[in-house]
Structure 1
Amino acid sequence: MNIIKDKLDNNPFLITVHKGSSMGNIVENTIPSFYAASQSGADMLEMDIIRSTDGEFYVFHDGDEKRLLGQDRDIKTMDSAEIDSLHYRNNWGISINLKVEKLKDVLNTFRGDMLINLDRSWDYWDTFLPFLDQFNMKEQLLLKSPVQKSYLDILDAHPVKYSYMPIIFELSDIKEVEAYENINLIGMEFIAENQDSPLFQDETINKIKEKDLLIWINAIRLHDNTNLFAEFDDDVSIIKGPEFGWKILVEKKADIIQTDWPNHLYTYREKLKK
Structure 2
Amino acid sequence: MFGQNQFSDINAHLNGMFAERGTLIAVHRGQPGGMLQENTIGALIAAERSGGDLVEMDVLRSRDGDYFMFHDGQEPQRFGFNHSLETFTSDEIAELSYEKRTKAPFYRVTRLDDLLDALPDRVILNIDRSWRYWADSDLLPWLGKRDLAPRLLMKVDAADAEAFEAARRAEVKFPLLPIASTVEQLDPIIRDPDLNVIGVEFVARDSSHPFCDREWIQGLRASGIFSYVNGLDLGNGLPMYAGWDDSVAILNGADAGWGPIVDRGVDVIQTDFTALLDEYLCLRGVRTRTPLHVLQTTEAISMFNTNRSAGPC
Shift of 1:176: 2.2
How far, CA to CA, are the matches of 1:94 and 1:52 in structure 2? 27
Shift of 1:32: 0.7
1:230 to 233, 242, 252: 242
1:260 to 264, 269, 272: 272
- Name 1:33's counterpart in structure 2: 43
Contact 1:48 1:121 in 2 (8 A): yes
Matched, 1:220 2:220: no
How far, CA to CA, are the matches of 1:60 and 1:145 in structure 2? 17
Shift of 1:202: 2.5
1:116 to 108, 125, 143: 125
Shift of 1:179: 5.5
- Name 2:189's counterpart in structure 1: 177
Contact 2:246 2:257 in 1 (8 A): yes
Shift of 1:207: 2.6
Contact 2:45 2:120 in 1 (8 A): no
Contact 2:217 2:266 in 1 (8 A): no
Aligned residues: 273
How far, CA to CA, are the matches of 1:57 and 1:17 in structure 2? 21
Contact 1:87 1:96 in 2 (8 A): no
How far, CA to CA, are the matches of 1:107 and 1:211 in structure 2? 31
Tell me the amino acid that sits aligned with residue 259 of structure 2: K
- Name 1:128's counterpart in structure 2: 139
How far, CA to CA, are the matches of 2:13 and 2:280 in structure 1? 22
Tell me the amino acid that sits aligned with residue 34 of structure 2: G
Shift of 1:98: 0.9
Matched, 1:89 2:99: yes
Shift of 1:224: 4.4
Shift of 1:5: 1.5
- Name 1:99's counterpart in structure 2: 108
Shift of 1:155: 0.6
Matched, 1:15 2:25: yes
How far, CA to CA, are the matches of 2:208 and 2:104 in structure 1? 45
Identity of aligned residues (%): 30
> CA deviation digits over 1:203-260, x for unaligned, max 9?
4323311201100011011114121100111111111111112121112111111000
> CA deviation digits over 1:153-197, x for unaligned, max 9?
111111101001111111111112236320011111111101122
Secondary structure of the residue that 2:44 maps to in structure 1?
A: helix
Tell me the amino acid that sits aligned with residue 243 of structure 2: E
Q: Which range moved further: 149-158 or 123-132?
A: 123-132
Q: Which has the higher contact order (CA 8 A, sep 6+)?
A: 2
How far, CA to CA, are the matches of 2:236 and 2:166 in structure 1? 35
Secondary structure of the residue that 2:98 maps to in structure 1?
A: coil
Tell me the amino acid that sits aligned with residue 140 of structure 1: R
How far, CA to CA, are the matches of 1:85 and 1:224 in structure 2? 31
Tell me the amino acid that sits aligned with residue 130 of structure 1: P
Structure 2, gaps ≥5 residues long: 1-10, 289-313
Contact 2:76 2:82 in 1 (8 A): yes
Structure 1, gaps ≥5 residues long: none
